[in-house]
Amino acid sequence: MKKIAIAGATGYLGKFLVEQLIESNTEGIALARNTEKLAAFNSEYLQKVKAEFTQPESLKGLLSEVDTVISTVGITRQKDGLTYMNVDYQANKNLLTEAIKSGVRKFIYISVLNGQNMRQLKICEAKERFVDELKNSGIDYTIIRPTGFFSDMKDFLNMAKKRLRLPFWRR
């Protein structure tokens, strides 16, 4: 049986992916900064592992038996003092580096639709810089480019209500 690692397992998409692992009885690892948020997921096939993706030393050895990594790691808005470059680029790069060291066969990355055409936006620049790293890494990869997630709309609405400048608005 092949083992799949879901990075960002407590995020909106990550939770759905973990549910699919459980439903299909696929052996996997749910990687998250806060494993308490994974308490509802129970399966003999699922490991719940704490990982600080922005800190490469916390990833050492976590992917040693993994065949495929799916990364949903990213932020909608900057918080906790972290930037898009810290998370969407560097955290994913740290994960990729560990995947390569561990002999992972495939890396699947969730980016954004048309990100390659919107590099002037900080969030897209960070995502696309990682896409460039992934393409040049030598590992088998897939880049998924969704239009967005409805969970993001609440954050955008709240930012607009607070009159914050959204990352994709132009003046």
Residue 171 resides in a domain:
no
Q: How many distinct structural domains can be found in the chain?
A: 1
Helix runs in the chain, H state only? 12-23, 84, 92-102, 122-135, 150-161
Domain, as residue range, for 29: 4-161
Residue 138 resides in a domain:
yes
Residue 152 resides in a domain:
yes
pTM value is 0.82
Both tokens assigned to 138: 């030598």
Residue 166 resides in a domain:
no
The answer to whether 8 and 72 are in contact (CB under 8 A) is yes
Residue 168 resides in a domain:
no
pLDDT 10s digits, 99-145: 999 999 999 999 887 777 776 777 788 899 999 999 999 999 999 98
Query: Which residue in 63, 85, 155, 75 sits closest to 110, CA to CA?
Result: 75
CATH number at residue 29: 3.40.50.720
pLDDT of residue 61: 94
**DSSP character for 90?**
I
Q: At what angle do helices 122-135 and 92-102 cross, to 10 degrees?
A: 10
Residue 37 resides in a domain:
yes
Residue 167 resides in a domain:
no
pLDDT 10s digits, 1-38: 479 999 999 988 899 999 999 999 999 999 998 888 88
| Torsion angle defined by CA atoms of residues 61, 1, 105 and 56, in that order, rounded to the nearest 10 degrees | -20
pLDDT 10s digits, 137-171: 999 999 998 876 555 556 656 666 665 555 554 44
Residue 65 resides in a domain:
yes
The answer to whether 77 and 19 are in contact (CB under 8 A) is no
Query: Which residue in 112, 84, 101 sits closest to 137, CA to CA?
Result: 101
Mean pLDDT of the chain: 85
